[in-house]
Amino acid sequence: MKRILILCFLAAAVLSACSPSKEQGQKTKVWNVASIQVDGHPQNEAVKKMGEIFGQLTNGRYRFEVFPNELLGPQRETLEQVQYGIIEMAIMGNPNVSSFEDGFLTFEMPFLFDDEAHQRRFFTTSSLVEKLFARTEKYNFKIVTYFTAGTRNMYAKKPIRNLADLKGMKIRTAESDTYAKMMKALGGAATPMSFGEVFTAIQSGVVDGAENNEASYSSTKHYEIAPYYSYTRHLIVPDYLIMNKKLYDSLSAQDKQALAEAARQAADYEVELWQKDAQERLAQVKEGGATIVYDVDSKALQKAVVPLHEELTQNPEIKEVYDAVKATSELK
């Protein structure tokens, strides 16, 4: 049924939906935005806010329509839809972007950022960010802004406190060679699969657990079948809002400026929402029976992945980004 809905939507999208605006004789252009997250997720709410701001700054000539819950397909499919101009925008995880440009692989390195504040500082102050984002444009998609995706932690049917607990465990990850190497270094095994398949996979024993942020753990009710959420804090990986490059190029200079301002405000808004939402999600999963495990031997986990850092930074594109990230650390 989902496939039928997607095909019907795509056929309609090609016809370029427009609706009347408040301006006399003017049409409002509707930009469709794909998301794998549930309705109400901080990233979806931030995109809605961005659409409102962009619409206001352009006198109602644009409006965003957000499609949550993988309604338009998993991320890899929606990225291709953006590239071909079938849909205008999509919220995209880093692994899908890093498959095009090696520099983005840096963000998939475990224990790269000190904390979420460090990640935010890098993306808002480093001169490398704009240059890095521009490298995707030759693939016909443009990164409009970065979004925080929080800190990723591991959850399973048992607590994970140390390397011994992880040994032999099958942990669902997004599709990423770096994630696979990370899990191997930690003693486990990465099992890539679509986000929507995780609940059944844990329930049936295909995987022993998964890793994600508090919002995803709560909204998908994964705590019902994997009740131990362990603060391994192994990854702080960004997400992005991407759009079709040809569509971006078609905008006037004034509209591009309006889009950039709307994106900046949306990114700030998303960080605020995320911090509040993470605390609310923790309270929800506790009420749902989850146990939050804080006493994790993070230093041992960090030490185990040092060889992976050394291996990956042999790539000059990764090393360039790695050095830029470390330059914004307050722990140096």
Whole-number average pLDDT of the chain: 92
Predicted pLDDT of residue 13: 47
What's the whole-number mean pLDDT along residues 65-70? 96
pTM summary value: 0.87
Tell me the pLDDT band of 20, cut-offs 50, 70 and 90: low
Among 10-14, 96-100, 205-209, the least confident range: 10-14
pLDDT at 11 over 50: no
Report the distance separating Cα 24 and Cα 44, nearest Å.
Answer: 30
Strands 152-156 and 228-235, by their bridges, are antiparallel
Predicted pLDDT of residue 194: 83
Q: Quick one: angle between helices 316-327 and 116-125, nearest 10?
A: 110
Nearest to 234 by CA among 293, 282, 186: 186
pLDDT at 24 over 70: no
Predicted pLDDT of residue 232: 97
Residues 6+ apart with CB under 8 A from 235: 108, 110, 151, 152, 182, 211
pLDDT cut 90: percent of the chain above it: 86
pLDDT at 202 over 80: yes
Predicted pLDDT of residue 1: 47
Same fold, 2-149+238-278 and 152-236+284-325: yes
Predicted pLDDT of residue 148: 95
Q: Which CATH class is domain 152-236+284-325?
A: alpha beta
pLDDT at 332 over 90: no
Predicted pLDDT of residue 277: 94
Q: pLDDT tens digits, residue range 94-152? A: 999 999 999 999 999 999 999 999 999 999 999 999 999 999 999 999 999 999 999 99
Q: pLDDT tens digits, residue range 245-272? A: 999 999 999 999 999 999 999 999 999 9
pLDDT cut 70: percent of the chain above it: 92
Question: Where along the chain do its domains lie?
Answer: 2-149+238-278, 152-236+284-325
| 3-class SS shares of the chain: helix, strand, coil, % to 5 | 50, 20, 30
Architecture of domain 2-149+238-278: 3-Layer(aba) Sandwich (3.40)
Report the distance separating Cα 37 and Cα 310, nearest Å.
Answer: 34
The 8 Å CB, 24+ separation contacts for 79-86 are 79/141, 79/242, 81/10, 81/34, 82/34, 82/141, 82/242, 82/243, 82/244, 83/139, 83/140, 83/141, 83/244, 84/140, 85/244, 85/246, 85/247, 86/10, 86/13, 86/14
